[in-house]
A and B are shown apart, each in its own frame.
Chain A
Amino acid sequence: MLPYVAKRSVQMLVTVFVISIIAFIVIQLPPGDFVNSYLATLSGGQIVTQDAVAALRAQFGLDDNLAVQYFKWITNLLQGNMGISFQYQRTVIDLLSERLPLTLAITIPTAFFVYAVSIPIGIYSAVRQYSPLDYVFSLVGFIGLAVPNFLFAIIMIYVTSRYFGGNVGGLFSPQYELAPWSIGKVLDMMQNMSIAILIIGTSGTAATIRVMRGMLLDELSQAYVETARAKGLSEWRLIMKYPVRVAISPVLSTIGFTLPALISGTEITATVLNLPTTGPLLLNAVRSQDMFLAASIIFVLSILTVIGTFISDLLLVWADPRIKL
């Protein structure tokens, strides 16, 4: 186990390194450097001394070559200094610590939701292949795959306002917006978050149902299943004990794709539903070319998916003895 953990950790570090380069490219891409765009965003009333400009330029090494700039940026980053958001006039780390918890509070439950819903449905669809419910799930699955998150969010807003007279969007309903914390307010927040989880989780669920169904169907046609059946094992125990256990581990290993997709979904859905996650922050940053903030958000989100994938890989190795270390 330990050599595997070591090997995976090294791999992870390399991946993080490549991600940091991509994030750095995102900062560099817009024309002009960030101190210039910072000066451009300042209103006429503010006065910036030449010294302050020079200090900023020196801190991020804007007059050095790209390799030195990258090095300065990454050392600053590793020390927790992610730069300043020009638009908000605050440090990036400050803004992130305000917004990131909610991103996680939505994404992590969604991940559990996806697997908790799709695995049982996938098992049912495979065991009862071509049954009416299997067709229903397949149809729902296809639609779930085809409706992008943000469209689904718009549809939800439309349906609730049109047919239920309710209001979707925001973290709190209007009556709790300014109210002090209470059980009612927490329940209200949970309700609003669960709508977001449903919206974000649907496409992931649809995709995972298909994988689970396909994997299990492959297993069910194996000879050992027939043997076990011939020996008189009850159908339920037979399926749960062998084929499902075999089929489930490749399904769980898709988390490397699912996690980035869920975070992606959280960000775009949050901008539609007006939830204060890093999503709307990122969008604003991108619109006003506040590139430090934008790149830091991208970097941090990516690191989170890398760590999430790493943990789930380790769990998988621990749970599935067949995976070679």
Chain B
Amino acid sequence: MTQMVDERVANMPPPADAAEGVSNRIISPTRLMWWKFKKHKLAVASGIFLILAYLATIFAGFVSPYDPASRSNNLYAPPQGIHFKDAEGNFHLQPFVYGYEMTRDLDTLRPVYTTDTDEIYPLRLFVQGESYRLFGLFDADIHLFGVEDGYVHLAGTDDFGRDMLSRLVYGAQISLSVGIISVLLSLVLGLVIGGISGLYGGMIDSFIQRVIEAIIAIPTIPLWLGLAAAVPRDWPPVYQYFAILAVLSLISWTSTARVARGRFLALREQDFVTAAKVYGASQPRIIRKHLVPNLMSYVIVTLTLAVPNIIIGETALSFLGVGLKPPTVSWGVLLQEAQSVQIVQFYPWIWIGPALCVILVVLAFNFVGDGARDAADPFSR
């Protein structure tokens, strides 16, 4: 597609009467798609949510109030509520949390926490706390929020008294990056294999199609389990992370390949491709300049809708204990705790936190994907 964007047009809002506006100016397809996408309010909101979530993973040390591994004496403590009004009914401009008071249930020996309304810890922005490394480069100790003395556990603590909120933020680093990186891997695999299939046709095509059909017919979780079994237990966490990434992408490239092949088949018959051929354009040039830009929008949609499956895949594998393992923190690793009925029943915040994160992110990707699918065809109504 041609990209003749008039600079003035590029900076203008969409005209009120789109039909009239489009007729006398040339607008790039990207811009048309963006206008269309913007109309999908839920998709835009989800997009903003996802951008914030990814930013939080980049600045994980800053956003989380504690180090994900640092232990405290408050074991299995429930989430603290944020208050503005204290027990005497005085209004505080600065929100605060109450301290815990721990007793033990004498029958079950489980810790029971009540709030101690005498202990008030005001929440502050940009407080000094535990030191961390930003981007693995700089040492810092300023946190987005925290308390100066006392403790704050807005999402509760786990069996070692570690702050769940901090663990969720650090877990997002793994869980969210798995989705993106693995989808990029599938993109490369899918485009290359689908492209070969669509371009050459014949025996190669039908062979690749059979392989794709076979992979689709295999139930995903069992196959993932089987492949993950090969990852050695004693590998360092980084290797395991990339191994799991590879396992997840080995399956998800099929949908990209199918879309790429279908578009290649449809496009190579189009007049503009024939025209390019007549003008003597080389095969790589036709692929690069005419075919790939035309199928990118479809591929991007497929990929956006594939990310949630990858995230669920990582979570499921780690939950079952064959994916990532502690001390690595990911949402799936956090959910491993839910293997214990005790924790499911009595300390629900330990699993509800990561569960909610997974559900929200998956929903957001689905909404963005839906919006993108509607936008991908800018000339449809």
Chain A residues in the interface with B (C-beta under 8 A): 11, 14-16, 18-19, 22-23, 26, 29-31, 142-143, 145-148, 150-151, 154-155, 157-158, 161-162, 256-257, 260-261, 263-265, 267-268, 271, 282-283, 285-287, 289, 291, 294-295, 297-298, 301-302, 305-306, 309
The 8 A-B residue pairs with the shortest CB-CB distance, nearest first, are A29-B230, A18-B214, A264-B219, A26-B226, A286-B229, A264-B221, A263-B219, A146-B362
Point out the residue from A291, A298, A309 that lies within 8 Å of B222, measured CB to CB.
A298
Are A260 and B366 interface neighbours, CB within 8 A? no
Residue of chain A at shortest CB distance from B224: A264
B27 at interface by CB-CB < 8 Å: no
- Cβ of B219 to closest chain A Cβ, rounded Å: 4
Which residues from B are CB-within-8-Å of A150?
316, 319
B65 at interface by CB-CB < 8 Å: no
Are A286 and B322 interface neighbours, CB within 8 A? yes
Which residues from B are CB-within-8-Å of A151?
335, 355, 358-359
Which residues from B are CB-within-8-Å of A301?
218-219, 222
Are A30 and B220 interface neighbours, CB within 8 A? no
Contact with A along B217-237 (1 / 0, CB 8 A): 111111101111110100000
B287 at interface by CB-CB < 8 Å: no
B308 at interface by CB-CB < 8 Å: yes
- Cβ of B61 to closest chain A Cβ, rounded Å: 28
Residue of chain B at shortest CB distance from A294: B226
Q: Given the complex of chains A and B, what is the CA–CA distance between A16 and B213 in angstroms?
A: 10
Which residues from B are CB-within-8-Å of A268?
221, 316, 320
B315 at interface by CB-CB < 8 Å: yes
- Cβ of B117 to closest chain A Cβ, rounded Å: 27
Which residues from A are CB-within-8-Å of B185?
none
- Cβ of B200 to closest chain A Cβ, rounded Å: 19
Are A267 and B359 interface neighbours, CB within 8 A? no
Which residues from A are CB-within-8-Å of B222?
263-264, 267, 282, 297-298, 301
Q: Is the interface of B mostly helix, strand, loop or mixed?
A: helix
Are B230 and A148 interface neighbours, CB within 8 A? no
B45 at interface by CB-CB < 8 Å: no
Point out the residue from A22, A143, A295 that lies within 8 Å of B214, measured CB to CB.
A22
Which residues from A are CB-within-8-Å of B217?
15, 19, 256, 260, 302, 305-306, 309
B211 at interface by CB-CB < 8 Å: yes
Are B319 and A157 interface neighbours, CB within 8 A? no
Instruction: Name which of B49-57, B93-101, B267-275, B338-346 contacts chain A.
Output: B338-346
Are B226 and A286 interface neighbours, CB within 8 A? yes
Point out the residue from B210, B226, B316, B367 that lies within 8 Å of A15, measured CB to CB.
B210
Residue of chain B at shortest CB distance from A23: B226
Contact with A along B8-32 (1 / 0, CB 8 A): 0000000000000000000000000
Residue of chain A at shortest CB distance from B364: A146
B351 at interface by CB-CB < 8 Å: yes
Which residues from A are CB-within-8-Å of B229?
26, 29-30, 285-287, 289, 291, 294
Are B216 and A260 interface neighbours, CB within 8 A? yes
Are B320 and A264 interface neighbours, CB within 8 A? no
Point out the residue from A11, A162, A267 that lies within 8 Å of B221, measured CB to CB.
A267
Point out the residue from B211, B219, B320, B348 that lies within 8 Å of A305, measured CB to CB.
B219
Are B344 and A22 interface neighbours, CB within 8 A? no
Which residues from B are CB-within-8-Å of A282?
222, 225-226
Are B220 and A287 interface neighbours, CB within 8 A? no
List 12 additional A-B contacts (Cβ < 8 Å) besides A283-B322, A302-B218. Answer: A16-B214, A29-B227, A143-B359, A146-B359, A146-B366, A158-B348, A260-B217, A260-B220, A294-B226, A295-B226, A301-B218, A302-B214
Are A18 and B211 interface neighbours, CB within 8 A? yes
- Cβ of B134 to closest chain A Cβ, rounded Å: 32
Are B351 and A298 interface neighbours, CB within 8 A? no
Q: Given the complex of chains A and B, what is the CA–CA distance between A257 and B345 in angstroms?
A: 35
Are A283 and B214 interface neighbours, CB within 8 A? no
Q: Given the complex of chains A and B, what is the CA–CA distance between A302 and B229 in angstroms?
A: 18
Which residues from B are CB-within-8-Å of A148?
312, 315-316, 358, 362
Which residues from B are CB-within-8-Å of A157?
341, 344-345
Which residues from A are CB-within-8-Å of B348?
158, 162
Are A26 and B219 interface neighbours, CB within 8 A? no
A151-B359, A154-B351, A287-B321 known; A31-B232 Cβ under 8 A: yes
Q: Given the complex of chains A and B, what is the CA–CA distance between A147 and B359 in angstroms?
A: 6
Interface-centre pick from B319, B345, B367 (highest chain A CB count, 10 A)? B319
Are B366 and A298 interface neighbours, CB within 8 A? no
B215 at interface by CB-CB < 8 Å: yes
B363 at interface by CB-CB < 8 Å: yes
Which residues from A are CB-within-8-Å of B221?
264-265, 267-268
Are A14 and B210 interface neighbours, CB within 8 A? yes
Point out the residue from A15, A285, A287 that lies within 8 Å of B213, measured CB to CB.
A15
Which residues from B are CB-within-8-Å of A142?
363, 366-367
Interface-centre pick from B219, B230, B359 (highest chain A CB count, 10 A)? B219
Which residues from A are CB-within-8-Å of B220?
260-261, 264
- Cβ of A209 to closest chain B Cβ, rounded Å: 14
Residue of chain B at shortest CB distance from A288: B229
Which residues from A are CB-within-8-Å of B345?
157-158, 161-162
Which residues from B are CB-within-8-Å of A14?
210
Q: Given the complex of chains A and B, what is the CA–CA distance between A290 and B113 in angstroms?
A: 45
Interface-centre pick from B218, B230, B322 (highest chain A CB count, 10 A)? B218
Residue of chain A at shortest CB distance from B367: A142
Are A146 and B210 interface neighbours, CB within 8 A? no
Interface-centre pick from B210, B221, B312, B359 (highest chain A CB count, 10 A)? B221
**27 A-B pairs in the complex with CB atoms less than 8 angstroms apart:** A18-B213, A19-B214, A22-B214, A31-B232, A143-B359, A143-B363, A146-B359, A146-B363, A147-B359, A148-B315, A151-B355, A154-B344, A154-B351, A157-B341, A157-B345, A158-B344, A162-B348, A260-B216, A268-B221, A268-B316, A282-B222, A282-B226, A283-B320, A286-B225, A286-B228, A294-B225, A298-B219
